[in-house]
Structure formats: C-alpha cells, structure tokens
C-alpha cells in the first residue's frame, strides 16, 4: 500500500523559515496537500494541489512538490503556527495521510 513519510518533529525559531517534508513513491506525479491541526481542533487545509492556498490562509504558507518529496514551507514562522501538520495524497482511489509532524516554535 502507498505510504507517505514525514519527520515526527521540526523545530524553528520565531521569524525563521520552517520546512516540513513528505516523501512517497513518485509523489511529484500526484497532487499533495497539507493540513494544520492545533490541539483539540479539527484539521484545517493550508495547501492544496501542491501549491495553492485556500482563502484565509496567510501568504507565509507555501508548498512545493517534485520527484518523491512534497514540502510545506512557513516563512516568518509565528508562535501561532505551532501545531501538527499532515500531508495527504492519494493512490489507486485510496486516500493516504502522512504520519504527521509536530512543529515547535521556540
């Protein structure tokens, strides 16, 4: 079955750039998207179709996808960005989530 792999944790200082990766076989040939989930809340879509931002998502969130890796980049990271982030793709009509990355802003 298809798998997406994320690092369990990423740390970043306030104002710096955070990058969270998501790896999967030929992921660059598929669409990837990203969700942010804060404690006790439901997930929020922050990037879809590799690079697009839903309305209301700050411009500091951006995405890319090439080869086997999709990347979520948060520029000028703020304390409010501390959360769990999940990538998601699909393969053979099946939806697949990455294991999630805890972003710590310290």
- Which residues bind to another protein, rule: CB under 8 A? 1, 31, 33, 35, 37, 42-45, 48-49, 54, 86, 88, 90, 93-100
Shortest Å distance, C-beta 81 to another protein: 19
CA distance 54 to 32: 14
**CB atoms closer than 10 angstroms to residue 29:** 10
Closer residue to another protein, CB minimum distance, 15 or 58: 58
The least distance separating another protein from the CB of residue 16, rounded to whole angstroms, comes to: 26
- Smallest distance from another protein to CB 1, Å: 7
| Alpha-carbon span 17 to 76, nearest angstrom | 6
């Amino acid at each position: 079955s298809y798998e997406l792999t994320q690092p369990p944790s990423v740390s970043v200082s306030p104002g710096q750039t955070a990058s969270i990766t998501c790896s999967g076989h030929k992921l660059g040939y598929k669409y990837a998207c990203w969700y942010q989930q804060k404690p006790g809340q439901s997930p929020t879509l922050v990037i879809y179709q590799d690079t697009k931002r839903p309305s209301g998502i700050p411009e500091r969130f951006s995405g890319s996808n090439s080869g086997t890796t999709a990347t979520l980049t948060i520029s000028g990271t703020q304390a409010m960005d501390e959360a769990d982030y999940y990538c998601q793709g699909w393969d053979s009509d099946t939806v697949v989530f990455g294991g999630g990355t805890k972003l710590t802003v310290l």
